[in-house]
Structure 1
Amino acid sequence: MYNARFWDKAWQDSSKKAGRRRPDPKLWQEYWSYYSSRYAEHNAANKDVHQRIIDDLLAQGAIRPGDSLLDIGCGPGTYALPLAAYHVKVTGLDTSSGMLEALSTQAISAGLQKNITPLLADWQDIAPEPAYDITFAAKSPAINNYDSLMKMTKVARRACCLIGFAGKHDIGLRRLLWEKLLQEPAPGPSFDIIYPLNILYQKGYRPNVTFTTYGQTNQEPLSYLIDHYTRYFAVMGLNGPDIENNIRQFLENSAIDGYCADTSETTIGIMWWQV
């Protein structure tokens, strides 16, 4: 029977398949702290996409100016910053100190620091009680099963919003390097909106869902990409001189005048529901 637990198991099976090489949590946090400033720069390139999503959520009444909102896995402020600009009182939760530093820096620069409170913590450690008007998570690994999803409904007083991948998520150079280094197809995203959507439906919720597709091409310095992907694959358990040489050689062969084009394309689902 396709009940909530069926979809939870399907979610876990999908995560295991996509994450055959599971990153070490401590190394993963260090990786994101290292990458935080560049992540913030990439956010700026997709600023219009994020702004459009926030505008739509406000127009639908999912989020209101003056709301208190917990952004679970906030990163450098992808959504926290545009939300704060609408006078939403955002608590940005993340396990990466580097991401929270990037968030604080941008909040101060934009004059939004009064509306943003960084919180270095794990979602698992947050008390399951209604402490915020809204719980919000965008492509956050913290929301990864039935329990973590349903906890969002316990912490929110009025509504929850969840943004996840909807099938396609491709980062060109990372996919090609994965195939070269591991001699296997690169895994798809470990978080697809279909699983939490069906869990919520089976629990009696009727989420509002929309979809959007966007992409970008970044011209990245060769030296940065060598360092970036060496760190990434080290987190996945692939390290050593041979791995680094293979990464370097592949990227050098792809570079033009010291730069490589790194292209990505993503489709996401934006889902919100009342509690």
Structure 2
Amino acid sequence: MSSHVALWSRASKHALQQNDFSEDTDYILNWIENQGIGFEGYSLLDIGCGTGTFALPLALKKAHVTALDLSCDMLKIVNEKSEALDTEVSVRLQHADWGAFTSEETYDIVLASMTPALSTQRDIEAMLNATRSLGIFVGWKKYRHNSLLDLLLIAHNAPEYHANPSVEVKTFLHALEKASIAYNVHYFPSTYKRAYTFEQAKEYAYKQLIGYNIFPSEAKINAVLNDLIEDNLIVSENKSEKGVVLFSKCPLLHHFSLVC
């Protein structure tokens, strides 16, 4: 666990300067609300909340949000962003590793989006058990093409390692079907770019390669980054197909909104 904490703590250093995927977040929340689902007044757990990509917009929609993450630095950013908002936003912070977290508490809505916090069957089952009524899962349908990471993996002779680091949509749907839980799933394309300084890109490279259990070669990383740098910046383009799953443990909603 300590190595994962270190990786995500390092990642949080640049999180305030990075794109928070706001377009994807808005798209996903709009789609959910178009299914007839509201958030106001409901308790909501955001598993692996990161820097608050979903936690803060949902708090603005008057949900009672608990933001859970294993990184104190990520939670600190959530807290700073929450305090900076000119509204009465209340987000409860929970420092925990979901893979080892145990609690008898359940929530009206439980959300997990693009997070390695859900990486095993036990993690999925724990999410389902924590869900009182509705759940939201966002994950990969097809793993992303990342122009920077692709080159780093090729340079390290490990393109086969370019696999999904978190639970895929199809795996999550299988768990729902096994548990006889009703769901609706919607797939959509996602494209974004990120710009890094040389040092930021180098930290990113080390984090990603270590995450794939690949020993980073500084010489190979430097060679890739030097080829890509332009105007003192390294731009990475990311393309993927994601899926948003809305599932219900409430029989009343099985025929209300969960229709493909």
TM bin, normalised by shorter chain, reads 0.7 to 0.9
Question: Quick one: distance in 1 between partners of 2:118 and 2:210?
Answer: 24
**CA displacement 1:44-87 (0-9 Å, x = unmatched):** 4x312201211222332444211110100000001111111101
Q: Does residue 1:261 correspond to 2:238, yes or no? A: no
Map 1:65-214; keep pairs closer than 5 Å: 65-111=40-86, 114-127=89-102, 129-190=104-165, 191-214=167-190
Question: Quick one: distance in 1 between partners of 2:136 and 2:6?
Answer: 27
Map 1:230-269; keep pairs closer than 5 Å: 230-234=206-210, 236-239=213-216, 243-269=217-243
Measured at CA, do residues 227 and 179 of structure 1 come closer, stay the same or move farther in structure 2, by a change above 3 Å?
same
Q: Which of 215, 240, 247 is the aligned partner of 1:273?
A: 247
Question: Quick one: distance in 1 between partners of 2:101 and 2:208?
Answer: 28
Letter of the 2:226 partner, please give it. Answer: E
1:136 Cα offset (Å)? 0.9
3-state SS of 1:256 partner = coil
Question: Quick one: distance in 2 between partners of 1:40 and 1:63?
Answer: 28
Determine what percentage of the aligned residue pairs are the same residue.
22
Question: Quick one: distance in 2 between partners of 1:160 and 1:71?
Answer: 10
Tell me, yes or no, if the aligned pair for 1:129 and 1:154 is still in contact at 8 Å.
no
Normalising by the residue count of structure 2, what TM-score does the alignment of the two structures yield?
Answer: 0.86
Which segments of 5 or more consecutive residues in structure 1 lack a partner in the other structure? 1-24
1:147 Cα offset (Å)? 2.9
Tell me, yes or no, if the aligned pair for 2:39 and 2:58 is still in contact at 8 Å.
no
Letter of the 1:173 partner, please give it. Answer: L
Measured at CA, do residues 37 and 75 of structure 1 come closer, stay the same or move farther in structure 2, by a change above 3 Å?
same
Measured at CA, do residues 112 and 94 of structure 1 come closer, stay the same or move farther in structure 2, by a change above 3 Å?
farther
Tell me, yes or no, if the aligned pair for 1:206 and 1:273 is still in contact at 8 Å.
yes
Question: Quick one: distance in 1 between partners of 2:118 and 2:200?
Answer: 30
Question: Quick one: distance in 2 between partners of 1:227 and 1:204?
Answer: 43
Question: Quick one: distance in 2 between partners of 1:179 and 1:65?
Answer: 47
3-state SS of 1:123 partner = coil
Question: Quick one: distance in 2 between partners of 1:143 and 1:62?
Answer: 24
| Alignment-derived partner of residue 14 in structure 1 | none
Say what the alpha-carbon RMSD is for the aligned residues: 2.1
Question: Quick one: distance in 2 between partners of 1:137 and 1:260?
Answer: 30
Normalising by the residue count of structure 1, what TM-score does the alignment of the two structures yield?
Answer: 0.82
1:208 Cα offset (Å)? 1.0
3-state SS of 1:147 partner = helix
Question: Quick one: distance in 1 between partners of 2:199 and 2:120?
Answer: 38
Tell me, yes or no, if the aligned pair for 1:43 and 1:78 is still in contact at 8 Å.
no
1:183 Cα offset (Å)? 4.4
- The number of residue pairs the alignment matches comes to 247
Instruction: Judge which range, 82-91 or 148-157, deviates more.
Output: 148-157
Question: Quick one: distance in 2 between partners of 1:86 and 1:26?
Answer: 34
| Alignment-derived partner of residue 229 in structure 1 | 205
Which segments of 5 or more consecutive residues in structure 2 lack a partner in the other structure? 250-260
